[in-house]
């Protein structure tokens, strides 16, 4: 019989043969646009720090002051003695920011999603998810034990049909706002129409939209509200955002009705049985929220970077998925070529991640380029140059 370790070795070997083995690279610098990666200085186009707040002096200062005022750790879970003034203030500011009755802070988006879905659904219920939803949403649906259905990406007619056939007592439709690996967006008005018609609940996880979309950074939902869509706690019951992307820190929140939030406080096990995030971190996030709301120029500048990048790639005949967000996916298809392209960029001092299955569907391996409001024009120029080499690899001019 094979030993446990031999078993694992074989599994890892198979991964490697499919060019799917993941590699962690170590950063020896702060997160930013110029980083030290495994000892090399490179320009990074792969963090989710879209607004450049991870290194913002005001955010750092708020963190320092939070440490001085409240110490390093929260010391307990929220329901014991870990719910501190910074968490409470952050919740209130998030409720106001999202225009919802209440908000609840979680230590991570993954836990928020698992927690919300498993708390709200029973075995007799049904959950409907966009095929390209984030892993935490899919896992939440699976772990809930409810009937689990996936609808084709952004295909709300198919969703409508699926919902129409379901007789589950509670039906929950779940979608990313901005899709993390493609950069495209859900249609909030369409989702509201379909869920309202079929008496289903709607949950939007806008981890990549908050801070980046909408005039005040209110994300895809904030933008839809500005466009005049009627959105409230009756037709979009559950809104999730995270602090690890545009906010430049980490953690997450759920916003919704007072009843929703109170239900989570009482019954959501991943909220109850975990240590509250450090109070200093909550202070840093409060500072980020403030910058997110007031620094419109960061969003405007991001759009300019994206526009220049897309135009250049289109001229090179590269396939860039439709996206107005800082997430730009250059689809190369084969895993091997995608790695080659990423390697070619690295040799030019550009760090762009190669995203492969199972993170994305088989045959859609891609370079995932992400922009930050602190990228300079010169850094963009360097990337555009690098894309010339990518185009050569894709078009087979280089073996």
Ligand X SMILES: *Cc1c(COP(=O)(O)O)cnc(C)c1O
Q: Which residues bind ligand X (CB under 6 A)?
A: 108-110, 113, 134, 136, 176, 180, 205, 207-208, 242, 244, 250, 252
Quickly list H helices, the chain.
4-17, 57-70, 85-98, 109-120, 135-144, 156-165, 188-197, 219-226, 258-267, 269-272, 279-294, 296-315, 335-347, 377-394
The sign of the torsion formed by the CA atoms of 140, 143, 144, 149 equals: positive
| Angle, CA of 299, 300 and 304, to the nearest 5° | 115
Please name every residue paired with 172 in a beta bridge, in sequence order, or none if there are none. 127, 201
- Which residues, 6 or more positions from 225, have their beta carbon under 8 angstroms from its beta carbon? 99, 214, 218, 231
By beta-carbon proximity to ligand X, the closer residue of 302 and 380 is 302
CB of 41 to ligand X, least distance (A): 27
CB of 128 to ligand X, least distance (A): 16
By beta-carbon proximity to ligand X, the closer residue of 113 and 389 is 113
| Closest by CA position to 196, among listed 224, 168, 157, 235 | 235
CB of 329 to ligand X, least distance (A): 14
By beta-carbon proximity to ligand X, the closer residue of 210 and 301 is 210
Q: ω into residue 258 within 30 of 0, thus cis?
A: no
- Which residues, 6 or more positions from 352, have their beta carbon under 8 angstroms from its beta carbon? 45, 46, 342, 345, 367, 368, 369, 383, 386
By beta-carbon proximity to ligand X, the closer residue of 120 and 318 is 120
Q: What is the CA radius of gyration of the chain?
A: 22
CB of 327 to ligand X, least distance (A): 10
CB of 51 to ligand X, least distance (A): 15
By beta-carbon proximity to ligand X, the closer residue of 114 and 374 is 114
Tokens, residue 110: 């993954």
CB of 242 to ligand X, least distance (A): 4
By beta-carbon proximity to ligand X, the closer residue of 143 and 307 is 143
CB of 208 to ligand X, least distance (A): 5
CB nearest ligand X: which residue?
A: 109
Tokens, residue 85: 């003034």
By beta-carbon proximity to ligand X, the closer residue of 65 and 324 is 324
């Amino acid at each position: 019989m094979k030993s446990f370790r031999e078993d694992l070795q074989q599994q890892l070997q198979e991964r490697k043969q499919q060019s799917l083995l993941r590699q962690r690279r170590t950063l020896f610098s702060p997160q930013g646009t110029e980083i030290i990666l495994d000892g090399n200085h490179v320009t990074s186009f792969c963090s989710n720090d879209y607004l450049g707040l991870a290194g913002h002096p005001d955010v750092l200062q708020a963190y320092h002051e939070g440490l001085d005022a409240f110490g390093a750790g929260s010391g307990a879970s929220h329901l014991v003695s870990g719910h501190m003034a910074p968490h409470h203030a952050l919740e209130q500011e998030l409720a106001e920011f999202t225009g919802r009755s209440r908000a609840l802070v979680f230590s991570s988006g993954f836990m928020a999603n698992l927690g919300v879905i498993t708390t709200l659904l029973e075995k007799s219920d049904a959950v409907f998810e966009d095929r390209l939803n984030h892993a935490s949403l899919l896992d939440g649906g699976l772990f809930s034990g409810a009937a689990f259905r996936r609808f084709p990406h952004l295909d709300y007619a198919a969703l409508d049909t699926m919902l129409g056939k379901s007789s589950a007592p509670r039906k929950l439709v779940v979608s990313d706002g901005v899709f993390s690996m493609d950069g495209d967006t859900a249609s909030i008005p369409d989702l509201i129409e379909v869920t309202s018609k079929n008496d289903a609940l709607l949950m939007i996880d806008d981890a990549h939209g908050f801070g980046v979309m909408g005039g005040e950074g209110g994300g895809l939902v904030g933008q839809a509200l500005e466009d005049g869509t009627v959105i409230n706690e009756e037709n979009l019951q559950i809104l999730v955002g995270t602090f690890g992307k545009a906010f430049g820190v980490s953690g997450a929140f759920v916003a919704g009705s007072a009843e929703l939030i109170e239900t989570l406080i009482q019954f959501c096990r991943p909220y109850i049985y975990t240590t509250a995030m450090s109070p200093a971190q909550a202070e840093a996030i409060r500072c980020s929220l403030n910058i997110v709301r007031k620094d419109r120029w960061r969003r405007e500048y991001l759009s300019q970077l994206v526009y220049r990048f897309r135009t250049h790639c289109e001229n090179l005949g590269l396939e860039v998925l439709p996206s107005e967000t800082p997430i730009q996916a250059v689809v190369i298809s084969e895993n091997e070529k995608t790695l080659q392209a990423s390697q070619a960029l690295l040799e030019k001092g550009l760090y762009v991640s190669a995203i492969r299955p199972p993170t994305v569907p088989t045959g859609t391996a891609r370079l995932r380029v992400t922009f930050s409001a602190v990228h300079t024009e010169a850094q963009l120029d360097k990337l555009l140059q690098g894309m010339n080499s990518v185009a050569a690899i894709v078009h087979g001019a280089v073996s």
